[in-house]
Amino acid sequence: MKKNNLLTTCAIVAMAIMSTAASAETLIVASPQVPEGFDGDALKAHTQNVVVQTYENLVVYGKKMVNGRMVNDPSTVEPHLAESWKISEDGKTWVFTLKKGIKSPFGNELTADDVEWSWSKSFAQKRTGNFIARVSNVVGVKALSKYDVEFTLSAPSSIFLKALTLYVPGIYDSTETKKHATGDDPWALKWMQSNTAGFGAYHLDSLKPDDQAVYVANKNYFGGAVYFDKVIYKEVPSEASRVTLLKTGQVHLIERPSIQKVVDLQDDSNVRVDRASGRSIASARMNPKCKPFDDVRVRQAFNYAVDKNALNDAVFAGQADIAKSVVPPIVDGYNPNHFKYDYNPAKAKALLAEAGFPNGITEPIELLYADAFWHQEPIAIQIADMLKKVGVAVQPTRITTSEMRAKGSPKEMSMCFFTWEDGPIVLDPVYTMYLISHSKGVSNRSAYSNPRVDELIDMSREELDADKRLAMMDEAQKLWVEDAPWILTTYPATFEAMNPKVTGWVHYPDEHERWRELTMN
């Protein structure tokens, strides 16, 4: 009797205690991880998601309406922090004039010195910002006057202007950052691990590692008032939990749910799922330095052996786009017409026989996958299964993501056959191919090398005539398809799941929404 009363009392007390309400004035984002750093040059977990909110660029892509929604138009570039720019005759000197009166949350005005300091920081760190500078041929940045800043290029670059829309090199309020520089740390990198000082719409207010980061709107923002005064970026490691929180209205936005969750969320009226064509390519890559991939016929055979529609249905619930080029569809210059590897197992077998494998390949080939992308494993399993049907034994093998990154790094490239996803964050065909298909490209990962493709890319990087450039990239795409260094599968679409009252989401090539554009009904 006593025990029953005790239990009942406990239950009642427990229920009385449990009750909370969530406010809807602030934007609440649930993410797998709180950002661990705010320096775009030294990316840590989820740094990229948040630096784009606090640091904004000299220029941005234009916008246009497509099928009733606003999208970024990669063929146009518009002023943002800069109001205008002039290019010299030889294309090697660009002078940007900054808009006047742009202020940071600290009250400091944007001047050319800030731009010079920021680029000097990237040059000094020799990390991602430096890479972008190299890709765009930038060798020097100098402040000419209070609002004029000069970029010096080693050669004309067709990528430069678009590269300025990237999250790095960021433009910092150097008046503030210099206060935190020390002898050992001239660029205030330590301070930047938990602080921000930009001219963007938001500013980091507080940071609790493993818990949440809170941002407040920049009261001096040059773009005017933004809807959300506060953004709480909450760490919720479990995806199932994040989905539950979204469905119950406890959070407004979750980033990039996996496809099973997407299908589930699409059916839920409490959630809106927005889709945009992705800019990256899921694929299985073959390293020509490994046997049997040194023979192009084997690589082509593998392409013929994979039924991409079936793969799309099995892995992506039919929601991805079939890939037909290493340049994704939202980049101009995309040409699917060179692609010829429709599903044809008979042809696959014939090619294998020609290459000296009339009875297929019985010695199992390892197909490596990791968990950097949710689809790596299912794609590996599908491909292994399809290749089995043409007599090729494949063994899907898991390794850690960090291992895969290391083994795919430019100086190692030791994996023979593996699944991965890559895509350009500058929506430019030259940038795309330079990143992925150039023998020195940092996202090559599989030691693909074709001297003619390299030559075309190198020439295009300096070719300012758009038509000539596109023609060269077209030829490069054709050669790439012939070489078949990858089993192209799909362009996974980007899905963002949010509360139906949140509007204004536009897809960006870096896959991160811009909070300043969001509003709530």
Partner 1 sequence: MNLTSFLIRRAFMVIPLLVGVVFFTFMLVRVGGLDPVGLLAGPTATAEEFTMIRAELGLDQPLWKQFLIYAGNVIQGDLGESWLSNRPVLDDIAARAVISLELLFWGVGIGTFVGVPIGLRAAFNPNGRFDQSARILSLFGFSIPTYWLGLVMLFVFFYLLRWAPPGMGRISLMISSPDFVTGSYFIDSLVAGDWKAAHSSLSHLILPVTCLAIVSAAPIIKQTRAIALEVLSSDAVRYARACGLKPKTVRKIVFRNSATPVLTFIGTEITGLVGTMSLIEYVFAWGGLGQYGLNAIVRGDFTAVQGYVLVLALFSVLVFLIVDIVVAMIEPRIELN
Question: 28 or 253, CB closer to partner 1?
Answer: 28
User: Which one of 153, 236, 298, 327 is in contact with partner 1 (CB under 8 A)?
Assistant: 236
Q: Choose one: 67-75, 247-255, 269-277, 486-494; the region binding partner 1 (CB under 8 A).
A: 247-255
The answer to whether residue 12 forms part of the interface with partner 1 (CB under 8 A) is no
Angle between helical axes of 345-354 and 296-305 (0-180°, round to 10): 160
Ramachandran bin of 360, using left for φ above 0, alpha for ψ from -120 to 50, beta for the remaining angles: left
Is residue 359 classed exposed, middle or buried when 0-12, 13-18 and 19+ CB atoms within 10 A define those classes? Answer: exposed
Question: 399 or 471, CB closer to partner 1?
Answer: 399
The answer to whether residue 248 forms part of the interface with partner 1 (CB under 8 A) is yes
**How far apart are alpha carbons 234 and 240 in whole angstroms?**
15
Within 411-430, which residues bind partner 1 (CB under 8 A)?
Answer: 411
Residue 377 has phi, psi (to 5 degrees) of -70, -50
User: Which one of 154, 260, 402, 519 is in contact with partner 1 (CB under 8 A)?
Assistant: 402
User: Which one of 365, 387, 435, 436 is in contact with partner 1 (CB under 8 A)?
Assistant: 435
The answer to whether residue 241 forms part of the interface with partner 1 (CB under 8 A) is yes
Helices marked H in 185-295: 189-192, 239-247, 259-266
Q: Which of 517, 520, 492 is nearest to 52 (CA)?
A: 517
Question: 108 or 439, CB closer to partner 1?
Answer: 439
Within 21-80, which residues bind partner 1 (CB under 8 A)?
Answer: 21-23, 28, 30, 33, 36-37, 42-45
Work out how close the CB of 206 gets to partner 1 at its nearest, in angstroms, rounded to a whole number: 10
Question: 228 or 304, CB closer to partner 1?
Answer: 228
User: Which one of 161, 314, 353, 399 is in contact with partner 1 (CB under 8 A)?
Assistant: 399
Structure-derived torsion over alpha carbons of residues 363, 365, 366, 369, reported in degrees to the nearest 10: -150
What is the DSSP secondary structure assignment for residue 109, as one 8-state letter? B
Handedness of CA 446, 451, 454, 456 (dihedral sign): negative
Helix (H, G, I), strand (E, B) or coil at 301: helix
What binding mask, one character per residue, do residues 146-185 give for partner 1 by CB under 8 A, x or -? Answer: ----------------------------------------
The answer to whether residue 237 forms part of the interface with partner 1 (CB under 8 A) is yes
Question: 32 or 345, CB closer to partner 1?
Answer: 32
CB 160 within 8 A of CB 137: yes
Long-range contacts made by residues 254-258, C-beta under 8 angstroms, separation at least 24? 254/29, 254/30, 254/31, 254/497, 254/498, 255/29, 255/31, 255/32, 255/49, 255/496, 255/512, 256/494, 256/495, 256/496, 256/511, 257/495, 257/497, 258/374
The answer to whether residue 250 forms part of the interface with partner 1 (CB under 8 A) is yes
User: Which one of 83, 235, 295, 385 is in contact with partner 1 (CB under 8 A)?
Assistant: 235
User: Which one of 17, 65, 66, 346 is in contact with partner 1 (CB under 8 A)?
Assistant: 17
Work out how close the CB of 66 gets to partner 1 at its nearest, in angstroms, rounded to a whole number: 28
The residues near 349 (Cβ < 8 Å, ≥ 6 apart) are 301, 360, 390, 391
User: Which one of 52, 81, 245, 301 is in contact with partner 1 (CB under 8 A)?
Assistant: 245
What binding mask, one character per residue, do residues 110-139 give for partner 1 by CB under 8 A, x or -? Answer: ----------------xxx--xx-------
Q: Which amino acid is at 247?
A: K
Helices marked H in 367-505: 376-389, 401-407, 429-436, 451-462, 466-483
The label of the residue with tokens 């994996």 reads 415
Work out how close the CB of 406 gets to partner 1 at its nearest, in angstroms, rounded to a whole number: 4
Burial 33-47, CB ≥16 within 10 A → b, else e: ebbbbbbbbbbeebb
The answer to whether residue 18 forms part of the interface with partner 1 (CB under 8 A) is yes
What binding mask, one character per residue, do residues 256-295 give for partner 1 by CB under 8 A, x or -? Answer: ----------------------------------------
Interface with partner 1 (CB under 8 A): 14-15, 17-23, 28, 30, 33, 36-37, 42-45, 126-128, 131-132, 190, 193, 208-212, 232, 234-238, 240-241, 244-245, 247-248, 250-251, 399-406, 408-411, 435, 442-443
